[in-house]
Structure 1
Amino acid sequence: MKSFEVNFDGLVGPTHNYGGLSFGNVASQSNSQQASNPREAALQGLEKMKALMDMGFVQGVLAPQERPDVAALRSLGFGGTDAQVIEKAAKEAMPLLVASCSASSMWVANAATVSPSADTADGRVHFTAANLNCKFHRSIEHPTTSRVLGAMFADPEHFAHHAALPAVAQFGDEGAANHTRFCRSYGEAGVEFFVYGRSAFDSRYPAPQKYPARQTLEASQAVARLHGLSDAGVVFAQQNPAVIDQGVFHNDVIAVGNGELLFHHQDAFLNTEHVLAELHGKLQARGADFQSICVPRDQVAVEDAVRSYLFNSQLLSRADGSMLLIVPEECRSNPRVWQYLQSLTASGGPVREVKVFDLKQSMQNGGGPACLRLRVALKETELAAVNPGVIMTPALYGTLTRWVNTHYRDALRESDLADPQLLLECRTALDELTQILKLGAVYPFQIN
């Protein structure tokens, strides 16, 4: 039976703005308060989706959140009509209004952790929505995320959905941004690689001193249990606290993996030799030939990796067995990173080609190509059970492009978030989107 790795890219929301809300994310903080262009951001994302579809990859779409999140503002004591809630929040607590308007759900690598059916005890694809507990503006996402994923992967014969972990610091869970799966082929049992920043209950584990470690060991272990993963099929590794303090807020900013290959920076992990040995041993037991490409710090410094998002790239398997690396334009603009990539593709190794995409709107807010997609490995029968409305086709690309051009603004500043008309524009757009993607009622304004 055929199997596929499907990339479901997040569709950028109509309130895409630079709020500078993510402490520890260098790009997010450095571009705070600049004017954004939601229309351009959404179109850049759609262009990447179409390009991958045109290259023969199965590509999907994941809908954005409803923003502003009026219900979140109501829970914080703002009352009246929806327009009055927004007006009061803007007057009394503008930072809360900015947080309720965040379009960070576009980075669906944080939406959930996904385990393919070949790895799970019950033979179903398992999803656990991430609680994103470290940041308020993201912690309010998982209820809608769960409904959207449930509408996309609805058949209980093939798919199992778990609620987000308890919303406390000890179980901080950032989803697939700290999770990678290795395998010989997507339909065969693999090894799931969980990377954490700290332990919540064991003080022997070192922790970063400047920026928060968002993923805990205990959260990763809980997800593995929920998904019914075997000890032989998991590896837990600690991220290097020193690189977290340099702006590596998720593992996907310093490492990326696919198939039998891990592409990582020399300083990505603690106890790197032990981690690689465990991955090699467990994959070898499953018939896979694990490989790793380590990028030396004397060729690419951590600072260059963070600024260029070299590792926040998509590593894709092609039909001929080689791999393609999808990187942002910022990699080409960094001489040291670009020189390394040229030598990488010329080396005769598994990565044979690099393709560059302009994702400036996303990059300025701290997310690159890997942030924009949730990877779901599916067998042929499971792909057939996915809601067909969310699978990218030339027709859907055309429809979504027209939808964006109709409903999105081409400039958005913080002051614009206080405009009640923006909420009406967003709800009108999302109501139409759920019909385009055949999702049904998934947003609070459609349900309440």
Structure 2
Amino acid sequence: MSRVPLPNVQEVNFDGLVGPTHNYSGLALGNVASMNHQGQVANPKEAALQGILKMQSLMEAGYAQGVLPPQQRPDIGALRDLGFRGSDREVLAHAAREAPPLLRAVCSASSMWSANAGTVTPSVDAPDGRVHFTPANLQSSFHRFLEPFTTARVLQAIFHDEQRFAHHPVLPATPAFADEGAANPVLPATPAFADEGAANHTRLCGAHGEPGVHLFVYGRRAFGGGREPKRFPARQTLEASQAVARQHGLTEAQTVFAQQHPDAIDAGVFHNDVIAVGNGPVLLYHEMAFLDEERTLDELRAKMSTPLIPVRVPLEAVSLEDAVASYLFNSQLLSNPDGSMTLVVPGECQEREAVWRTLQDYLLAGHNPISEVVVKDLKQSMRNGGGPACLRLRVALSEAEQTALSGRTLLTPTLVADLTAWVNRHYRDRLAPEDLADPLLAEESLTALDELTQLLQLGAIYPFQLNHA
């Protein structure tokens, strides 16, 4: 097994491009921001440009940055699978009239939050010395369950070299296993192998090229046992996390499985990356992140070859309500050449006095590597429940692995200009939920995506392209 440090390894953040159908349908149960903004008018153009600007600024600051394309939306094929017939226009019209919730689901632009795209293990940790990928099955909601097929094709198109990259199938779609002693009959049951990807996974290490320990965080046990939330469903199961670890060849010495605190889930912490973020040896987390905080930290310390640097934010400093509203922990924690770290936070952190005070007086003034806080405007994404950390999939790559990437997805000034012009050509600046039935929106989206695959040099990755190949 490859456990020798690799030289010249960079963490590349692959951000998801916001899709042309970005809207506020409030589809995500347990995502407070998404639920609170349901029905409001969205601005897809502004959302996409805000995301590109964040990527550009990080690229210009010296961080390796990539981009992932959005999904094909509306997913008219999904509507056809559910029995709607006729032309595309007729299918949209029938769905809008007969099943509005289904129409909203197949128009979701949720793939922008690429932290949910899958789980990644770098080559230094894998037994075969390859980078491993498992697309998340996203079984917790119908609108996200539609994503894995295209996500897998995108990852395989970019990370195509079989000598350097390994791709695993999504975990099986299964029913929930009933646990009469612990299940809450009010909440929808979580499927047994519900997997939400890197939003519930953190790799802790020294430098990115050094062997690491993988922290998998789950909300419930599919086969029973332990506390469960009472208000909102848990989206990740222990069994799913264990299955992904097995797919990637990770051993017990390389993994820690910790349960998310049920009270945090009930407060709106639907993924672990809303309450904790790790980078290198640093774990920045809220007091209420883990059900068994002490055991989690002790196991990390015992398994890491580099001393763990826990940065704990107490409940008295930042309430769960403030943590969810500001997305303080849904921030990007980035390594700098001098050993310091930069924390990229959403603008909402400035709007909460307790959060901003904690950033200035506790994190920046504390004994930890965090030396800089950078604020980004991501309001369009934030109103739907996704901050800086939601927007990116982290992939640690050596120079040789970066060179082996296919397509044109590593960000450059030229690609920034091309993507910006593409958004300005194709995106609307106003989109309300009732606009999703507009057949012109579907045509505009397909035209934009077809051009995007050419711009990114990815070939045919979307169903409409494959069906016409």
TM-score (norm 2): 0.94
Conserved? CA contact 2:409–2:456, under 8 Å: yes
SS in 2 for 1:326: strand
Q: Which amino acid aligns with 1:445?
A: F
CA distance in 2, matches of 1:313, 1:196: 20
Conserved? CA contact 2:157–2:407, under 8 Å: no
Q: Residue 14 in 1 paired to residue 13 in 2?
A: no
CA distance in 2, matches of 1:369, 1:92: 36
Q: Residue 409 in 1 paired to residue 428 in 2?
A: yes
Q: Residue 173 in 1 paired to residue 186 in 2?
A: no
Q: Which runs of 5+ in 2 are unaligned?
A: 1-6, 175-190
CA distance in 1, matches of 2:27, 2:292: 32
Tell me which residue corresponds to 2:448. Answer: 429
CA distance in 1, matches of 2:281, 2:437: 49
Displacement after TM superposition at 1:205 (Å): 1.4
Runs of 4+ in structure 1 off by over 3 angstroms are: none
Q: What whole-Å deviation, never above 9, does each CA across 1:378-405 have from its counterpart, x for those lacking one?
A: 1111111112500000000000000000
For residues 136-175 of structure 1, what are the structure 2 equivalents within 5 Å?
A: 136-168=142-174, 169-175=191-197
CA distance in 1, matches of 2:414, 2:147: 29
CA distance in 2, matches of 1:63, 1:158: 22
Displacement after TM superposition at 1:66 (Å): 0.3
Displacement after TM superposition at 1:340 (Å): 0.3
SS in 1 for 2:386: coil
Q: Residue 3 in 1 paired to residue 9 in 2?
A: yes
SS in 2 for 1:256: strand
Tell me which residue corresponds to 1:249. Answer: 270
Question: Cα 1:360–1:396, aligned 2, differ >3 Å: closer, same or farther?
Answer: same
Tell me which residue corresponds to 2:418. Answer: 399
Conserved? CA contact 2:334–2:342, under 8 Å: yes
Conserved? CA contact 2:14–2:67, under 8 Å: yes
CA distance in 2, matches of 1:150, 1:398: 25
Tell me which residue corresponds to 1:441. Answer: 460
CA distance in 1, matches of 2:289, 2:229: 13
Displacement after TM superposition at 1:349 (Å): 2.3
Which of 358, 364, 373 aligns to 2:377? It is 358
Q: Which amino acid aligns with 2:67?
A: V
Which of 279, 282, 289 aligns to 1:258? It is 279
Q: What whole-Å deviation, never above 9, does each CA across 1:29-87 have from its counterpart, x for those lacking one?
A: 00000000000000000000000000001100000000000111011110111111111
Tell me which residue corresponds to 1:65. Answer: 71
CA distance in 2, matches of 1:204, 1:82: 47
Q: Which amino acid aligns with 1:170?
A: A
Displacement after TM superposition at 1:231 (Å): 1.1
Conserved? CA contact 2:311–2:368, under 8 Å: no
SS in 2 for 1:170: coil
Conserved? CA contact 2:173–2:193, under 8 Å: yes
Q: What whole-Å deviation, never above 9, does each CA across 1:89-122 have from its counterpart, x for those lacking one?
A: 0111111001000000000000100000111111
Displacement after TM superposition at 1:146 (Å): 0.3
SS in 1 for 2:285: strand
Which moved further from structure 2: 214-223 or 338-347? 338-347
Q: Residue 190 in 1 paired to residue 212 in 2?
A: yes
Q: Residue 135 in 1 paired to residue 137 in 2?
A: no
Tell me which residue corresponds to 1:336. Answer: 354
Q: Which amino acid aligns with 2:360?
A: Q
Q: Which runs of 5+ in 1 are unaligned?
A: none
Q: What whole-Å deviation, never above 9, does each CA across 1:292-327 have from its counterpart, x for those lacking one?
A: 000010010111000000000000000110000000
Tell me which residue corresponds to 1:310. Answer: 328
For residues 77-226 of structure 1, what are the structure 2 equivalents within 5 Å?
A: 77-168=83-174, 169-201=191-223, 203-226=224-247
CA distance in 2, matches of 1:293, 1:188: 21
Displacement after TM superposition at 1:211 (Å): 0.4
CA distance in 2, matches of 1:230, 1:122: 13
SS in 2 for 1:383: helix
CA distance in 2, matches of 1:415, 1:271: 45
SS in 1 for 2:408: helix
Q: Which amino acid aligns with 1:114?
A: V
CA distance in 2, matches of 1:71, 1:111: 21
SS in 2 for 1:200: coil
SS in 2 for 1:262: strand
SS in 2 for 1:157: coil
Conserved? CA contact 2:277–2:333, under 8 Å: yes
Tell me which residue corresponds to 1:298. Answer: 316
Q: Which amino acid aligns with 1:31?
A: H
Displacement after TM superposition at 1:188 (Å): 1.7
CA distance in 2, matches of 1:141, 1:81: 23
SS in 2 for 1:390: coil
Conserved? CA contact 2:202–2:215, under 8 Å: yes
CA distance in 2, matches of 1:61, 1:178: 21
CA distance in 2, matches of 1:172, 1:413: 30
Tell me which residue corresponds to 2:57. Answer: 51
CA distance in 1, matches of 2:124, 2:47: 35
Displacement after TM superposition at 1:281 (Å): 1.0
Q: Which amino acid aligns with 2:284?
A: F
Q: Which amino acid aligns with 2:383?
A: Q
Which moved further from structure 2: 33-42 or 229-238? 229-238
Q: Which amino acid aligns with 1:180?
A: T
Q: Residue 386 in 1 paired to residue 405 in 2?
A: yes
CA distance in 2, matches of 1:182, 1:347: 20
SS in 2 for 1:171: coil
**Percent of aligned positions that are identical:** 61
